Amino acid sequence: MIISDEERTDVILLVDDEPSNIQVLNKAVSSLGKVYFATSGEEALRLAREVLPDLVLMDIQMPGIDGFDACTAIKTDPKLQDTNVIFVSAHIDTEHQLRAIQCGGIDFLHKPVNTILAEAQVRTHLTLGRQQRELKVARSTLQNVIDHLPAFVAYWNEDLINVFSNDVEGKWLSVSSAHMQGSSFSSVTRNSTSLSQAAHEQLNLAVEQSRSGVTQVLELTLNSTSSAILFAAASVVPTLIEGKFSGIVLLLHDVTPLRVIQNDLRKEKELFALTLSSIGDGVIVTNLEGDITFLNPIAELLTGWARRDALNQTIETVMPLVDASGRKKLINPLRIALSERRVVGASLNAKLIRRTGEMVEVEDTAAPIKDANNELQGGIIVFHDVTEAREMAQRMSHIASHDALTNLPNRILLQDRSERALENAKRKNEKVAMLVVDIDQFKTINDSVGHSVGDQLLKSIAKRLVDSARGADTVSRHGGDEFIVLVPELTNWDNAVAYVTRLMQQFTTPIWIDSQRFDLTCSVGISIYPDDCSDTESLYRHADGAMYRAKELGRNRWHFFSKDIETQVMKRHGLEQYLRRALVENLFQIYYQAKIDTRTGAVVGVEALIRLKDEKGKMISPAEFIPLAEDNGLIIPIGRVVMELASRDALKWQDMGFNHTVSINISTVQFNDERFVDDVRELFDDLSLKPELIEFEITEGAIAKNTVRTKEILESLKGLGLSISIDDFGTGYSSLSYLKRFPIDVLKIDQSFVGDMLSNLSDEAIVDAIISLGRSLNMQLVAEGVETEAQVRALSAKGCHIVQGFYYCRPIPYSEMCVYLAKGTHKKGDPL
């Protein structure tokens, strides 16, 4: 059982051969502890070994073993080391005192004993003894702790003489504590085999500096051969007493494992950096935020950013990427690697904008950096300059796909483009033309002038062919004097004809080489997809065949593969030429067809219809030439002619006192022409014509397109005072909502409905619907193509009273219309 010091009762042993003395002593100390008695030195020793007293009050003069001998025996007994002895004696002279101290006594009590004084004296000694024991325990605990400290602790006094060290074996400084004790600081450090000269100097300097009262901290490298301690953190702690330097404590602790790890890490990092620095690719490492933490010299070179400027910048700042065009910014793959935590492969055609602004084509790969626990730590991007490689690849592919002499695409590229053009055309319902162009009698010329001039000729021919082409066209050379032109995205054959016409035109100018004149001609064969065939191979064969046909027919001409196309194209081509001529020579005429109010028989309006006779005087139908004029744009000048002629006639009728309207047909192309409204305004300004008498007939197709603009145009026309009529109403596909939004005056029921109205129920239903629609919107209704009386009656019954058609009046020239108008009312079919 452990008894704490407070609880423990002190044990007191009273020794005297005189029992009366013991009685007196007992009286004095009995309250202070447990008291034992002995009346001889022998008994005292025996009892002391048994009860282990804290304090012995010992008589000196006793028979047998006297007090001094008994004390000596107690003090030499290890079990009784802590036992204090006080001598009790009547004679206390110097000799006695000296002997008492020599044998280990601590105090004297005088006989006769004063009990009060004795009690106080014994109490003090018991207390002191207790404190002494406590101190001993504390000290041994401390010693124990220090001995087992995984550190070196040593103390040097103010004269720097070692007082203490906990390094019993000398594993720290190769000096055991025993050897160290009494040695000066500098001799210990100088003689320590663990310390280098430098370390010795460092430590002694630290000691000097610590005299100011400040703890010095330093790190030592130990050249220890025997122990595993290689690196130690040292603290030189000055101890101060009342502010005065009184010595130093040297503390060392082992930092070897830490340093070893740090060293390994540093080495690894250096190796890593060295590796990244010596590879040929640019490498940039970022943290989680995409801020740069490392870049290697190649990355510095490629980005134009020095490392010190680049660090901590975002990846986008240092490595901005754009697409091949150089305009569209690209997301840096590193961002994707960070956000999606995956490796991002090379982006195609990326360009890096360098700090200087120039662009470098790069190929890059980015990856996330994860630690052992798969936690994202940052990202890395590796990239290299592929400008040269890409240029080389481009050059190679250019060489492979182009003709060396003219630099035109060759057969391979043409093949590829043709295939794509056909696919596109199929999807978009367009046509593709292939033209085989062969220079007439080139072989003869070439043989006579030599190849170098021949080559120059071919080059300038190539240039002329290219000059005739549009952007989408491909002009290619297939060796010799054969050129093939691919004309994609055609809506009809005219574009091909336009190209070949321009081309032939080019050949009318002579080519000059070294002041030698060459008048060349060519023969061209044309084949059209999908009219002639459905694949590129046959397209070429057909065009080639057509080219031979052109040669057979006498060269310097073009020829279509298909006879049908050929005739149609020739016809259209001829017609186009004729329309141009008609414009110049004023061959267009206007016929008029009356609109009759069936209730009164009065002419309420006339429709102007264009007429053109061919060279032989035969009428060409507007249904034939208007669509062509719309395709080639001639409708604009033609439309202007119609407007002018009709307006002049209208003016004349107005002057004669007629007040019927004159309707003019406006083509969609005309309506959508930017200058249209201005043209109309100018015309009416020139003539002092009442615009209320003019009506424009527009098809649904024209106004269904662009509603905002359409509304503006229609309102401007209305603003001029014109009426608006929807021609061929019911045949368009548009929604009817425009009728409410746009200022429309008249609906013309298409002649197809009128024609079949009496035989076909659904046509009749449509006519009914149009009539009720027109009425509810408060629009005038005109029925077109009325040919019979039955139709007139039926329309009247339904409430449509204005009709136009052969039943009353065919289209007739101005002069005849004047006669017709003079008749006033018209009940029956046209008498003319």
Interior/surface letters 428-452, b for 16+ CB within 10 angstroms, e for the rest: eebbbbbbbbbbbebeebbeebeee
Cα 755 from Cα 787, distance rounded (Å): 8
Figure out which of the listed residues 530, 545, 622, 637 binds ligand C2E, where binding follows CB under 6 A. 622
Cα 609 from Cα 784, distance rounded (Å): 13
Residues 782-811 that bind Ca ion (CB under 5 A): 784
Terminal-to-terminal C-alpha distance of the chain: 152
Minimum distance of ligand C2E from residue 698's CB (angstroms): 10
Q: Binding pattern to ligand C2E, positions 623-662, x when CB under 6 A? A: x--x------------x--x--------------------
CB 794 within 8 A of CB 571: no
Q: Binding pattern to ligand C2E, positions 226-255, x when CB under 6 A? A: ------------------------------
Minimum distance of ligand C2E from residue 822's CB (angstroms): 21
Minimum distance of ligand C2E from residue 699's CB (angstroms): 7
* Cβ closest to Ca ion, residue 542 vs residue 595: 595
Q: Binding pattern to ligand C2E, positions 747-766, x when CB under 6 A? A: ----x---------------
Figure out which of the listed residues 248, 283, 606, 610 binds ligand C2E, where binding follows CB under 6 A. 610
* Cβ closest to Ca ion, residue 363 vs residue 607: 607
* Cβ closest to ligand C2E, residue 454 vs residue 811: 811
Q: Binding pattern to ligand C2E, positions 795-824, x when CB under 6 A? A: ---------xxx----x-------------
733 burial via Cβ count (<10 Å: 0-12, 13-18, 19+) = exposed
Cα 478 from Cα 495, distance rounded (Å): 23
* Residue carrying structure tokens 């890395």: 380
Question: Which residues have CB under 8 Å from 222's CB, separation 6+?
Answer: 172, 194, 195, 199, 229, 230, 231, 232
Cα 505 from Cα 492, distance rounded (Å): 21
Q: From the centroid of its chain, how far is CA 353?
A: 15
Minimum distance of Ca ion from residue 826's CB (angstroms): 20
Figure out which of the listed residues 300, 363, 727, 763 binds ligand C2E, where binding follows CB under 6 A. 727
Q: From the centroid of its chain, how far is CA 121?
A: 94
Q: In what order do the strands lie in the sheet with 231-241?
A: 162-165, 151-157, 244-254, 231-241, 216-221
What is the DSSP secondary structure assignment for residue 404, as one 8-state letter?
T
Strand 522-529 versus strand 516-518 pairing type: unpaired
Q: Residue 697 interacts with Ca ion (CB under 5 A)? A: yes
Q: How many residues bind ligand C2E (CB under 6 A)?
A: 24
CB 709 within 8 A of CB 674: no
Alpha-carbon separation of residue 303 from 165, 309, 333, 380 (angstroms): 61, 11, 16, 15
Alpha-carbon separation of residue 256 from 172, 198, 220, 632, 700 (angstroms): 12, 19, 10, 93, 94
Q: Which does 634 bind (CB under 5 to 8 A by kind): Ca ion, ligand C2E, none?
A: none
Task: Identify which range of 73-81, 179-187, 605-613, 736-744 contacts ligand C2E by CB under 6 A.
Answer: 605-613
Which secondary-structure segment (H or E) carries 421?
A: helix 411-428
Q: Residue 605 interacts with ligand C2E (CB under 6 A)? A: no
Q: Which does 468 bind (CB under 5 to 8 A by kind): Ca ion, ligand C2E, none?
A: none
Minimum distance of Ca ion from residue 506's CB (angstroms): 42
- Across 440-540, the runs of DSSP E, i.e. the strands, are 474-477, 482-490, 511-513, 516-518, 522-529
Q: Which does 710 bind (CB under 5 to 8 A by kind): Ca ion, ligand C2E, none?
A: none
* Cβ closest to ligand C2E, residue 172 vs residue 808: 808
Q: Which does 626 bind (CB under 5 to 8 A by kind): ligand C2E, Ca ion, none?
A: ligand C2E
Minimum distance of Ca ion from residue 607's CB (angstroms): 5
Cα 565 from Cα 605, distance rounded (Å): 42
Q: In what order do the strands lie in the sheet with 329-330?
A: 292-295, 282-287, 376-385, 359-370, 350-353, 321-322, 329-330
Q: Which does 605 bind (CB under 5 to 8 A by kind): Ca ion, ligand C2E, none?
A: none
Figure out which of the listed residues 66, 158, 309, 787 binds ligand C2E, where binding follows CB under 6 A. 787
* Cβ closest to ligand C2E, residue 547 vs residue 626: 626
Q: Binding pattern to ligand C2E, positions 355-384, x when CB under 6 A? A: ------------------------------
Region for residue 640 given its phi and psi (left: phi exceeds 0; alpha: psi -120 to 50; beta: otherwise):
alpha
Q: Residue 665 interacts with Ca ion (CB under 5 A)? A: yes
Strand 231-241 versus strand 244-254 pairing type: antiparallel
Residues 233-292 that bind Ca ion (CB under 5 A): none
Alpha-carbon separation of residue 825 from 498, 541, 604, 793, 821 (angstroms): 51, 66, 10, 17, 8
Q: Residue 785 interacts with ligand C2E (CB under 6 A)? A: yes
Minimum distance of Ca ion from residue 731's CB (angstroms): 9
Q: Residue 695 interacts with Ca ion (CB under 5 A)? A: no
Minimum distance of Ca ion from residue 727's CB (angstroms): 4
Q: How many residues bind Ca ion (CB under 5 A)?
A: 5
What is the DSSP secondary structure assignment for residue 347, as one 8-state letter?
P
* Cβ closest to ligand C2E, residue 96 vs residue 810: 810
* Cβ closest to ligand C2E, residue 28 vs residue 642: 642
Cα 339 from Cα 333, distance rounded (Å): 10
Minimum distance of Ca ion from residue 783's CB (angstroms): 10
Q: At what angle do helices 635-656 and 563-585 cross, to 10 degrees?
A: 40
Figure out which of the listed residues 216, 665, 725, 780 binds ligand C2E, where binding follows CB under 6 A. 665
Task: Identify which range of 3-11, 376-384, 566-574, 782-790 contacts ligand C2E by CB under 6 A.
Answer: 782-790
Q: Which residue is nearest to Ca ion (CB)?
A: 697
Figure out which of the listed residues 16, 254, 727, 763 binds Ca ion, where binding follows CB under 5 A. 727
796 burial via Cβ count (<10 Å: 0-12, 13-18, 19+) = middle
Residues 729-788 that bind Ca ion (CB under 5 A): 784
Task: Identify which range of 83-91, 157-165, 662-670, 684-692 contacts Ca ion by CB under 5 A.
Answer: 662-670
The token duo for 471 is 């952007």
Strand 746-749 versus strand 812-813 pairing type: unpaired
Q: Which does 304 bind (CB under 5 to 8 A by kind): Ca ion, ligand C2E, none?
A: none
Minimum distance of ligand C2E from residue 728's CB (angstroms): 6
Task: Identify which range of 237-245, 282-290, 563-571, 604-612 contacts ligand C2E by CB under 6 A.
Answer: 604-612
Minimum distance of Ca ion from residue 717's CB (angstroms): 16
Q: From the centroid of its chain, how far is CA 139?
A: 71
Q: Residue 54 interacts with Ca ion (CB under 5 A)? A: no
* Cβ closest to ligand C2E, residue 247 vs residue 811: 811
Q: Residue 700 interacts with Ca ion (CB under 5 A)? A: no
SS3 assignment for 724-740? EEEEEECCCCCCCCHHH
148 burial via Cβ count (<10 Å: 0-12, 13-18, 19+) = exposed
Q: Which does 642 bind (CB under 5 to 8 A by kind): Ca ion, ligand C2E, none?
A: ligand C2E
Give the angle 578-582-586 at the CA atoms, nearest 5°: 170
Q: Which residue is nearest to ligand C2E (CB)?
A: 805
| Interface positions with Ca ion (CB under 5 A) | 665, 697, 727-728, 784
| Interface positions with ligand C2E (CB under 6 A) | 593, 608-610, 621-623, 626, 639, 642, 665, 667, 697, 727-728, 751, 784-787, 804-806, 811
